[in-house]
Amino acid sequence: MPKYITPIDYTIYEKEVSAMYNSATSIEERVLISLCWITGARTSEILKITQEDITYNDDFVNITIRTLKLGDRDSGRFKLRYRHLKFTRPTAPRNIYLETIIKWSERLTKPEARLIKRERRWVTRRLNVIGERVLNKPVTPYHFRHSVCTQLAMNGASIPEIMYFKGAISLNGVTPYIHAKPMMFKLESFNREKGLILGNENGGNLIKVSKEELQAYLKEKDEENN
């Protein structure tokens, strides 16, 4: 993992995202901020999103993310090759980030055209600059990613759901968000072979999410999307 000037566990909230969005000096920067906040995707994944990956109607917006990390070396394919994210499209008020993504995609003339035709360095630099200007600290797509997953956990998303949203196939990728679960579970033990065991702070029964259960969930999702 690269070095970050701003702590990697720094959490961005909607008010700060809105300020960054309004401070952006181009529509392309607004699209970048919108994609980071809506999808929580990795930089490489954001740069691969094309016009055909954005579909929508009056009620929903669907965004397909190509998972570009955590490949299955044995089979030569990704265990979770695509993530199909479905968002409700509110009418009053409109979600400015979803609408920005939609309007920008409509301007593209080819289905395979990328929404952001830039390099990773540009993404990092622009978010750094906007973050410094608005938040007095540079931020990166990772900070958006961490923030989105933290707030998913705070809103009651399950561990498999967070794993799917992130495109993670390891429990290591979601353990940082367990503290945000509204039921206030604490990590009792973690074993890569046995899975994850959570204990209720109020003395309730232990809940175990086994390695097999998580793998089965991710396999089912992968099969549904192919």
Continuous H helices in the chain: 14-23, 27-39, 43-46, 96-107, 120-135, 141-154, 159-166, 211-224
Local confidence band at 204 (pLDDT 50, 70, 90 cut-offs): very low
202 within domain boundaries = no
How many domains does the chain divide into? 1
Q: At what angle do helices 141-154 and 27-39 cross, to 10 degrees?
A: 40
pLDDT of residue 11: 87
Q: Is residue 7 scored above 60 in pLDDT?
A: yes
**Is 209 part of any domain?**
no
Q: What is the pLDDT of residue 216?
A: 67
| Among the ranges given (17-21, 82-86, 151-155), the one the predictor scored with the smallest mean pLDDT | 151-155
Distance CA 135, CA 111 (A): 36
Residue 30, amino acid: R
The answer to whether residue 204 sits within a structural domain is no
Whole-number Cα distances in Å, 39 to 71, 96, 204: 20, 14, 34
Interatomic CA distance for residues 58 and 166, integer angstroms: 26
Please state, rounded to an integer, the average pLDDT across all residues of the chain.
79
* Residue 157 pLDDT class (50, 70, 90 cuts): confident
Query: pLDDT tens digits, residue range 14-43?
Result: 999 999 999 999 999 999 999 999 999 999
Lowest mean pLDDT among 151-155, 156-160, 203-207: 203-207
Structure confidence by residue, pLDDT tens digits, 118-146: 999 999 999 999 999 999 999 999 899 88
Write the CATH number for 25. 1.10.443.10
The fraction of the chain above a pLDDT of 90, given in percent, is: 47
Angstrom CA distances, 128 to 29, 141, 155, 182, stand at 12, 10, 28, 31
The answer to whether residue 210 is domain-embedded is: no
> Is residue 206 situated within a structural domain?
no
CB 85 within 8 A of CB 63: yes
In a domain? residue 130: yes
In a domain, residue 162? The reply is yes
Q: Is residue 191 part of a domain?
A: no
> Residue 205: is its pLDDT beyond 50?
no
pLDDT at 77 > cutoff 60 = no
CA distances from 23 to 13, 17, 19, 116, 153 (A): 16, 10, 6, 19, 28
Mean pLDDT confidence for 173-196: 50
Please give the pLDDT value at position 113: 96
Q: What range defines the domain where residue 113 resides?
A: 14-172
The DSSP letter of residue 11 is -
